[in-house]
Each structure stands twice: as C-alpha cells, then as structure tokens.
Homo-oligomer: A and B are copies of this chain.
C-alpha cells in the first residue's frame, strides 16, 4: 500500500462520517503515526480534508452535500413559502440578483411566471437551475467556492460594480438585529456586501433557524436590509427591526401577511 492509495482510502474512510483520527489511520493502514500525520498534512495542503487536532475532518462539498440535503428536507416547506412570498416582490422587466444558499435557490423555479427579467447570480446552483430560462441570465464570475457553490472574490466584486439591480435576494448563515448578517467566509461576506450595495431593494430570505445564529464574518447590518422575509417572527423582533426601517414579511404555506 503506497502513499496515493492511502490518500484515496482515507477519503473512503471519511465517507461515512465527518472525522477520522491519526491513530485510526495509522492502525488501519499499518503505518506509523508519523506517516499518517504526514498523509493528512499533505491532503490538507491540497484541500482534500481539513486538519484538526488529532486527525482530519471532511471539508467542502463532500460534507456539505448530505447536510445541504438534510437541511433541504427539514426546512423545505419553510423555504418554499419564503420563496413564494419573495417572488411577489418581483415585477415584469425587473433586474434581480440571486445570492447563494438553499432558500434563495428555491426562488429560481418561481421566476418562470414573470416576463423579461434580467437575473444576475453568483450561485452556480441557481445558474444551473436557470439554464433553460427564457429570461436574460448573467453570472458574476470569479473564484468558485465549493462550500457554498458560489462565485466570490475580487473578480466577482469588480464585475458587480458594473451592474445595478432592482432587488437583491440575499441568503445568510446567521442574523441578529445587533450583529446583522453573518457568514462563515470573509471573502463571501465581502461579495455579499458588494451585491447588496448595488441593489435598490435588499430582500433577506431567511428561515427562522438563522435567527441569532452567529458566524465569523459580518456581511451587513440590519439597516442594510429593506425587507426581511421569514416564516416565523415574534412581535419584539418586528419592533426592533422596524427601528432599523426593515419591513418584515411573514411567509406561510397558504398566504402571507405583512407587518411593519
């Protein structure tokens, strides 16, 4: 068993779960821990796994895929309701921006009911869903980030600078009134901020599980949001948001209500 074979097999070993220990690798392949450590180190260097103390964890798509799907199942109804509610903001002929994230993604199929839209997105998944759309479709370009399947970075931002949207539909990893919107990757945060700055109206699509969730990088403050669309919100939250001039739109599976 040589080095490259082990590399594949370590991934195999990881396929069922999220992490694997150095000692486990060593015994599994009958090599010293030093070697196991070197393997993991090199794999981390080429981005295959993430190095953690005591072993390695999956990173990128391979881990996110089941997670993504799981999330899709659990909160699918909420997302659909949110997307349906969001689509009511769109008028024929609008230019809209679609951010990454599964909530915004579920907006894509609903766009067929509108005419002559110009759809700009940095989400490769959204682009794929819209491949056969009759609307005008633009991708932002830039560096592909596999975790979120979006395009981010300076190239993306340079291109966004040339554009202007009627509405930007944004997703987020976490949100609170005090801390604003947050996401895991600073590059992505920057790109999100840039996209929002180019929009006449910023609509944040967020299921209630994101409330008070925190993440590394701030993408914007509560005041940057024009309208927040979610499926459950209490009065005090609406109150707080109203102070930041944020409109709150509550989506339900059957109908929707509006609160100021």
Contact = CB atoms under 8 A, between A and B. Distances in A.
Contacts of A186: none
A205 to B, nearest CB: 22
Interface residues of A, number: 44
B2 A52 contact: yes
A131 B141 contact: no
Contacts of A46: 115-116, 134
A129 to B, nearest CB: 11
A61 interface: yes
Interface string A1-39: 011110010000000001100000000000000000000
8 contacts: A2-B19, A2-B52, A5-B18, A5-B19, A5-B52, A127-B144, A136-B143, A142-B159
Interface of A: 2-5, 8, 18-19, 46-48, 50, 52-55, 57, 60-62, 115-116, 124, 127-128, 131-132, 134, 136-144, 146, 149, 151, 155-156, 158-159, 162
